[in-house]
Amino acid sequence: KAGVTQTPRYLIKTRGQQVTLSCSPISGHRSVSWYQQTPGQGLQFLFEYFSETQRNKGNFPGRFSGRQFSNSRSEMNVSTLELGDSALYLCASSLGKGSYTEAFFGQGTRLTVV
């Protein structure tokens, strides 16, 4: 079956602009999580959506937001981009059951802010 698909793969934006990233989870997976990866910081949790509702949230400013659609596809938006937002943004999907199950990651979107 198809894996997690993230689009676009690469993006270059200017400071102050906004950006929207997209994630299509594995068929049947209802939970979608977003992570930011920067050098030296590992993967940092942004938020998790389940059945169109934000279920968990990390410690990121309000400029970072997301949503999930009825088909479980998710989008992440970053407004008023800053240079420090340059990172690899990873999306992960899982079944989202009560007890934790493994998450499957997409290839990520590499965002560069200039």
DSSP state of 69: -
Q: Which stretch binds another protein (CB under 8 A): 13-21, 60-68, 73-81, 101-109?
A: 101-109
Residues 6 or more apart whose CB falls under 8 angstroms from that of 71 comprise: none
Minimum CB separation of residue 37 from another protein in Å reads 9
Of 23, 28, 31, nearest to 4 by C-alpha is: 23
111 part of the interface to another protein, by CB under 8 A: no
Paired with 113 in beta bridges are 13
Choice between 58 and 75, CB closer to another protein: 58
35 lies in the site for another protein, by CB under 8 A: yes
Residue 84 near another protein by CB under 8 A: no
